Amino acid sequence: MLSSPQFLRQNIMLRVLYSLMPVAAVAIYFFGWYVVSIITVSMLFAFLTEWFMASLRKGKVSYACFVTAGIYALSLPPTTPLWIVAVGVIIAILFAKEMFGGFGKNVFNPAIVGRAFVFVCFPIEITGHFIPVFTGFPGGFGHWSMTALEQTPRFITDAGLKAVDAITSATPMWASKNYGFTSSILSLFLGNIGTTFEYEGQKMVLGAGSIGEVSTLVIMLSGAYLLWTKTANWRLTAGTLLGAFSSSLIFRYVFDIQSVPSPLFTLSSGALFYVAVFMVTDPVSAPKVTLSQWIYGFFIGIMIVVFRFKSIFAGGAAFSLLLGNILAPSLDLWINRIKDRRKGAPQA
């Protein structure tokens, strides 16, 4: 029988929720109020799932479930059906967290498990089309949503497109990898994603991939708050960005692999900063030893770049983080063993 929910208060989790608020507010401006329904459904089913499991073990519901729900929801495309939102967050809480024993015992970042699950299981619904952002005033605050067949009349008119033409779309990373179109760095940084380009005589719309990964600037500001309040570990974020930057630099300019985006384009990707700020810094699934944290972040950053130019999908952040989660426990074990051997070695 379900008991009344009791909450495990965690100030660190509250600060993460605070940091997600500006990202969510900007997401509403870019995509409309449908974003609120995605976040609400994610929060509701995350809470219900953890409450059910906590009742079975006579434990408390952690604020971490809301953090997982928020990070997961903002990583989804703005047109994600609500039933998929619910399925993904249930998988995230139930199989990536509760099956390991609850809060503090999970090996994998629950939010990224949920994101990867829906990405693999529902690829048509998740990657079937991408939409441009609302611009001007009031932007998305004056709309419920923008669907593939309902690009704003102003956007379609300005682009010289009919509604049927606007269905073919791509994210900036997808457009760079598959169509050779490089988006404006400033538009990526600010989040103003919504232009058109031609590929083999066909006009295409540049759209956004995920709700909260549009504006690098806003994510950076939220990240600065987390670092300033010592909520997030700066080594994990810095290592991820350094790994992505250096690997992009080497692959493109040393090995002359032109399909790899430039370092500036790579760093301007909202998805990279979103993962580096909100997901890599998860204190439970990340390693605890200082050197391990640098290696962990650097490895994830490199793998993001590798996945982006070698895999069939342009976005590789989710799978890069999952690989990092697998590596994290072994990293701490290896580094500690090396330290122990050095301490036990005879002095010269």
Q: Report the distance separating Cα 274 and Cα 212, nearest Å.
A: 8
The full set of domain ranges for the chain reads 7-127, 147-206, 216-342
Q: Report the distance separating Cα 149 and Cα 151, nearest Å.
A: 6
Q: What is the β-pairing status of strands 196-199 and 202-206? A: antiparallel
Res 321 pLDDT > 70:
yes
b/e map of 244-266 (b: 16 or more CB within 10 Å)? bbebbbebbeeeeeeebbbbebb
Q: DSSP of 240-258, one letter per residue? A: HHHHHHHHHHIIIIIS--T
Question: What is the average pLDDT across 77-104?
Answer: 91
Which residues have CB under 8 Å from 48's CB, separation 6+?
none
End-to-end, the C-alpha distance of the chain in Å comes to 65
* Phi, psi angle pair for 202, to nearest 5°: -110, 130
| Span of 12-21, 44-53, 220-229, 337-346 with lowest mean pLDDT | 337-346
Rg, C-alpha atoms of the chain: 21
Q: Which two tokens stand for residue 3?
A: 């008991």
Q: Report the distance separating Cα 192 and Cα 130, nearest Å.
A: 14
Q: Report the distance separating Cα 193 and Cα 135, nearest Å.
A: 9
> 30 and 145 in contact (C-beta within 8 Å)?
no
For the question of whether the overall pTM of this predicted structure is more than 0.75, the answer is yes
pLDDT per residue as tens digits for the range 241-274: 999 999 999 998 888 887 788 888 888 876 889 9
Q: Name the pLDDT band for 7 (thresholds 50, 70, 90).
A: low
Q: Which residue has the higher pLDDT, 135 or 119?
A: 119
Q: Name the pLDDT band for 296 (thresholds 50, 70, 90).
A: very high
Q: DSSP of 29-68, one letter per residue? A: HHH-THHHHHHHHHHHHHHHHHHHHHHHTT--EETHHHHH
